[in-house]
Amino acid sequence: MNKENIIQKLPYTKPFLFVDEIIEIDDIHIKGAYTFLQDEYFYKGHFKDNPITPGVILTECMAQIGMACFGIYLLKGEWNQAKNGIAITSSDMNFYKPVYPTEKVVVIAEKEYFRFNKLKCKVAMYNSEDILVAKGIVSGMTFMKNDE
């Protein structure tokens, strides 16, 4: 499975897709990037005259790269977007620096465990100056969609 194919398999689209590229991936870690565009919907009204990216969006970006993309890769071809869903089950994040419109971030996730379709990862986000923006733990799972 190639890097671009993984992104295409994600169950997200704009304006809620926060993955531009997967830089590297193997069975132990993933590294991906996203650039927050100037006109993202969540900047309207989030700190008048000084928009910053909400922490929940940073968490979502880390989960999409570090849990969803990584999980699809680890399933080794067993992922079927029509039949499977992805859900974040928990997160514990610490934030250190704001992320502004037009900033590119890099997310690195390291697998803690992956079994029974459950994935837990340590995640870290860095800005374009390689300064730590946020770090924490994300966990998630895949599930069979209800056919009804």
Active site residues: 46
Distance of CA 5 to the CA centre of its chain: 16
Query: For strand 132-144 and strand 84-95, is the pairing parallel, antiparallel, or unpaired?
Result: antiparallel
- Cα–Cα distance list, 25 to 28, 74, 90, 101 (Å): 8, 10, 22, 27
Closest-CA residue to 69 (of 104, 17, 112): 17
Distance of CA 39 to the CA centre of its chain: 20
* Rounded-to-integer distance, Cα 38 and Cα 24, Å: 26
- Cα–Cα distance list, 103 to 58, 117, 125, 138, 147 (Å): 12, 33, 12, 22, 40
